[in-house]
Amino acid sequence: MKKTLLALAFATTGLMAVPTAFAQNAPSDNGGFFINGNVGRTSINKGPYDDHDTGYALNGGYRWSLAPNFALGAEVGYNDLGNIHPKNIFNSNPVVDRGKSQLHGWTAGANARFNIDQNWYISGRGGVYSWTGHGLSNDVNPIRKSLSDTSWYAGAGFGYSFTNNVSVGLNYDYFNAKKNHVDLSTDMVSVSAEYRF
């Protein structure tokens, strides 16, 4: 695991260095540091699971402006995708359901943003997903297992920029998480908000 995280750090550093060569002649109005957050509905329909929950993701990174309407960047983030019930804050039921898949983890990868016009944009992202989860195996007699591994994630979205610094969007993301006959791979449809520095 330590070797995987070290390789991930080197890959992210290399990814951050490559676009600098291309960014020298491009305008910098759509590049720079950013942070964003997503909240949405997660879906898992694998083996013993067929369920929807609330998930969230927090990301930060940097984009380089490669053209007036296109930016490419690197991102890192954290997400929790499987066991949160916000409505239970207002009653006596548990907010965190220990019987769910409990999939969560760290992401590191690339992201891109293409401005269709001054306000509307489309985006894409993908990279490495270092996850931890608890789930039932897909066997005749399912067994609950605690697992962790490194896999991948990918997503796309579109949105609207209110200013050069603030935008909101609608996104679809897929997080791959399979190991030892347990498949916790999860989809998330979410709304996002981003702030660019």
Domain count, the chain: 1
State mean pLDDT over 108-119: 94
Q: How confident is the model at residue 8 (pLDDT cuts 50, 70, 90)?
A: very low
Q: Taking CA 102 as the corner, what is the angle to CA 175 and CA 126, rounded to the nearest 5 degrees?
A: 15
Owning domain of residue 177: 2-196
Q: How far is CA 5 from CA 11, 12, 108, 142, 148, in A?
A: 10, 10, 10, 31, 13
Q: What is the CATH number of the domain that holds 189?
A: 2.40.160.20
Lowest mean pLDDT among 23-27, 55-59, 66-70, 133-137: 23-27
What integer pLDDT is reported at residue 139 of this predicted model? 64
pLDDT tens, 33-82?
Answer: 999 999 999 888 766 666 677 889 999 999 999 998 999 999 999 999 87
User: Which pLDDT does position 93 carry in this prediction?
Assistant: 62
E-strand ranges in 94-143 read 104-115, 120-136
With a cut of 90, say whether residue 135 has pLDDT above it. Answer: no
pTM beyond 0.85: no
Backbone angles phi, psi at 54, to 5 degrees: -100, 135
**Nearest to residue 52, comparing CAs of 41, 63, 38, 40?**
41
